Amino acid sequence: MVKKFMVINGPNLNLLGTREPSVYGDKSLSDIELYTENSLKELGFTDVETTWFQSNIEGEIVGKIQSLLNLDYDALLINPAAYSHTSVAILDSLKMLEIPVIEVHLSNTHLRDAYRQTKLTAKSSTIIMEGLRHKAYLIGILSQLVK
């Protein structure tokens, strides 16, 4: 059976690679997508499908999360980026999902600004991963594949 993962990335993550590389690493979002998919294949997980979506707009992210209510995905990986700290709308949409929600932050936000310490979205996340940079998505997906 093919396992399907939706990967949602929030605002400013379209500029990964050039955006504060000392914090987020030097890989672009498409580099990370390729790294994740190639690594899954190399590890022998050939029956895995990932769908990647990025938006800088809160409502578009809410819409994508809502669309999962009618689709057959096994888990959602989401990096809500700055919206993690502010968005009740994204939190509320995540609460409706019955699949595992894996919240990813490339940086370890615990080492960072005080305003990054509150994560509204974490209230509906099954797993929270921080500080793994580009490896976070791969490891998040693997968490659902290994026993």
Which positions are annotated as active-site residues?
Answer: 24, 105
> Could you tell me the smallest distance in angstroms from the CB atom of residue 5 to ligand DQA?
18
- Give the integer Cα–Cα distance in Å for 100 and 70: 15
**What span, in angstroms and rounded, lies between the C-alpha atoms of 147 and 62?**
31
CA distances from 116 to 56, 67, 86 (A): 18, 28, 10
121 binds ligand DQA (CB under 6 A): no
Residue 77 near ligand DQA by CB under 6 A:
no
Nearer to ligand DQA (CB atom), residue 1 or residue 114: 114
- Asked if 36 touches ligand DQA (CB under 6 A), the answer is no
Count of chain residues binding ligand DQA (CB under 6 A): 10
Of residues 36 and 84, the one with the C-beta less far from ligand DQA: 84
Q: Give the residue at shortest CB distance from ligand DQA.
A: 81
CA dist 79 and 10 (Å) reads: 6
Q: Which is nearer to ligand DQA, 20 or 49 (CB)?
A: 20
Buried b (16+ CB within 10 A) or exposed e, 45-58: beebebebbbbbeb
Residues found in the chain: 147
The C-alpha atoms of residue 44 and residue 54 are separated, in whole angstroms, by: 27
Closest contact distance (angstroms) between CB of 88 and ligand DQA is 16
- The correct pick among 14, 28, 31, 82 for binding ligand DQA (CB under 6 A) is 82
Report whether 45 contacts 145 (CB < 8 A).
yes
Binding flag, residue 116, ligand DQA (CB under 6 A): yes
Residues that bind ligand DQA (CB under 6 A): 12, 79, 81-82, 84, 105-107, 109, 116
